[in-house]
Structure 1
Amino acid sequence: MTRSLDVPAYLNRLGLGGLAGPPSVESLVRLHTAHVERVPYEFFHIWLGRHTTVDPVESAGRVFLGRGGYCFHLNGAFALLLEELGYQVTRHNGVPRSLAGHTGHHVALTVSGLPSHRCPDGVWFVDVGLGDGIHEPLPLVEGIYRQGPFQYRLRRSDLEPGGWRFDHDPRGSFHRMDFRPEAAVMSQFKDMHTYLSTSRDTAFWHVLTVQRRDAAGVDCVRGLVLSRIGSAEGSSVLSGRRDYFEALADIFGLTLDDVTPGEKDALWGRLSESHEKWLASAAPRTDLTGPASPVSA
């Protein structure tokens, strides 16, 4: 990699421009919570037909411009930021699985060297790329953890020898995610990213999802359905073009300033068509807040 990360710009995007000092558990928590609250999970690049890579510097550039991404973008950029700040980061190959049995590939993160009373070994599970996943880092210690309205579990994986399993809350968009113990590099995810971004066989092509986590729950737009899980739960249909793009800006901070009016028109047309097909399906989903998001990246 020949380019470098603009750390001040990244911290400003997270609202942490004054963050200073050596790596600590407290600072890691601040970085993680700010990231999931301010940088949404989204994959508009697929629906807009735009080429992206797994280069963390490129992904960080998207973040600076007010965009988000999916796991390869979000965790890739966040891992680089943490390393620039002096944290010991390991990337892992992860495999999420939905309740329906679908699987996908994911880049998971751990941060080591930060022991505390909650985490004697000093290794933390860190992930800003799961959409409706964790709000704060979790100690990489077997146990049950509650964050806001959600309950998670970490345990040893029975599918990935030596690896770990993250069990999501039953209301989450996937069932669990297993990740391998060995370190991975971002280039290992290049082919999977290309497949997920271009293949019409993946869920990413059929349902556009945007998610944003906060301390009290998750906001989600799946297709044209806006839902809230956690505090003030509920769901509604964004039936108009203006309602849709206003919701993106107001709730998720996605103004899509880099998208032309013509691209927005085409995007809205495709979303409307997809929604009509969903309504006309033989057994449309009535549980608008349950697991239905893509189960990878």
Structure 2
Amino acid sequence: MTTIDVRGYLARLGLDGISDVPGPPSGELLFTLHRAHLERIAYEGLHAQLGEPAPIDPAASVARIVAGRGGYCFHLNGAFAELLKALGFPVTRHRAGVQPRFEDPPGVLGNHMALTVRCESREWLVDVGLGDGFHEPLPLRTGVYEQGPFSYALAPSDVVPGGWRFTHDRRGSFPRMDFAPEPVDVAEFEEKHQWLSTSPESSYLRTCAVLRRDAKGTDNLTGCVLKRQDAAGTTTTTVTTEADWYAVLADVFGLGPDSLGPEARRRLWDKVAAQHLAWEDTRAST
């Protein structure tokens, strides 16, 4: 069994008051953990931008979070599954596929790890690795679910027998996600992780994106453009200086100055600024 720093993990979630042996698993605790994770641990692929190793071994992913970083789905859901198991929750990892664009075909592509949890005689879809996904666990049954200003849907998948489909809010960063019913090990995702982290064709190398979800809305920093979506609508701000960009990273996404060293910060900003200029040139020419 993997040994992780449960106290350190709970502290990072702002839940220092929860014992690392809190008693029988409860729906209340599951919801508390899920909300805190979405609010405090950023969805980010900065490792790909920087060309740095970021293993998806669960213990390494937990250590990464405890040290102040975030990650993408393999890190976030991989680590969260270990925390839930350590606190007594029965957790299952599933091979899943996020459909990046509406025009792309749905499928269980292995570009996402989904989680289900059995708690208080109910099955829940649990996912802290979708970036701007749902804030609280969803009951694993067909229905439409409202959370804050967003609406989500769950239904049986039409591309994988026995699987499920999550349909995102129309304003979300992707249209839908399908996952297969069978349990899988983290090693199942290693090949896809390597491609996502290193391939020049990967969106994580082409664009720097950082996301988070809270009870009222979502924050999305793509390149130098910060977008806030909530009940009031969408607010967009262009962050034009290195100091302001890192202030946003710290204040909005919880990635403070200690999360990256000085040399990495310089290299990352140079890449982000170059990507933004290229994006502006593309917009100007269309």
Quick one: distance in 1 between partners of 2:224 and 2:186? 32
Quick one: distance in 2 between partners of 1:111 and 1:131? 19
Structure 2: gaps (5+ residues): none
1:90 is aligned with what amino acid?
T
Conserved? CA contact 1:224–1:275, under 8 Å? yes
Quick one: distance in 1 between partners of 2:259 and 2:37? 21
Equivalent position of 2:83 in the other structure: 81
1:17 is aligned with what amino acid?
D
2:224 is aligned with what amino acid?
L
Equivalent position of 2:113 in the other structure: 107
Conserved? CA contact 2:27–2:119, under 8 Å? no
Equivalent position of 1:212 in the other structure: 212
TM-score of the two chains, using structure 1 as the length reference: 0.90
Equivalent position of 1:244 in the other structure: 245
Task: Say how many residue pairs are matched.
Answer: 278
Quick one: distance in 2 between partners of 1:259 and 1:67? 9
Equivalent position of 1:134 in the other structure: 134
Quick one: distance in 1 between partners of 2:37 and 2:188? 24
Equivalent position of 1:230 in the other structure: 230
Quick one: distance in 2 between partners of 1:185 and 1:55? 10
Equivalent position of 1:35 in the other structure: 37
Conserved? CA contact 2:26–2:119, under 8 Å? no
Quick one: distance in 2 between partners of 1:253 and 1:260? 15
- CA drift of 1:260 comes to 2.5
Quick one: distance in 1 between partners of 2:141 and 2:284? 41
The 1:58/1:134 distance shift into structure 2, 3 A limit, reads: same
Equivalent position of 1:12 in the other structure: 11
User: What pairs up with 1:156-175 in 2 under 5 angstroms?
Assistant: 156-175=156-175
- CA drift of 1:156 comes to 0.3
- CA drift of 1:143 comes to 0.2
The 1:283/1:127 distance shift into structure 2, 3 A limit, reads: farther
TM-score of the two chains, using structure 2 as the length reference: 0.93
The 1:251/1:102 distance shift into structure 2, 3 A limit, reads: farther
Conserved? CA contact 2:69–2:259, under 8 Å? no
* SS, match of residue 258 in structure 2: coil
Equivalent position of 1:146 in the other structure: 146
Do structure 1's residue 46 and structure 2's residue 33 form an aligned pair?
no
Structural RMSD (CA): 1.6
Quick one: distance in 1 between partners of 2:88 and 2:265? 40
Conserved? CA contact 1:278–1:284, under 8 Å? no
Quick one: distance in 2 between partners of 1:164 and 1:177? 8
Equivalent position of 1:288 in the other structure: none
Q: Deviations over 1:99-141 (max 9, x none)?
A: 24177510000001423xxxxxx10000000000010000001
Do structure 1's residue 280 and structure 2's residue 281 form an aligned pair?
yes
2:48 is aligned with what amino acid?
I
- CA drift of 1:256 comes to 4.0
* SS, match of residue 123 in structure 1: strand
The 1:92/1:175 distance shift into structure 2, 3 A limit, reads: same
Quick one: distance in 1 between partners of 2:45 and 2:105? 19
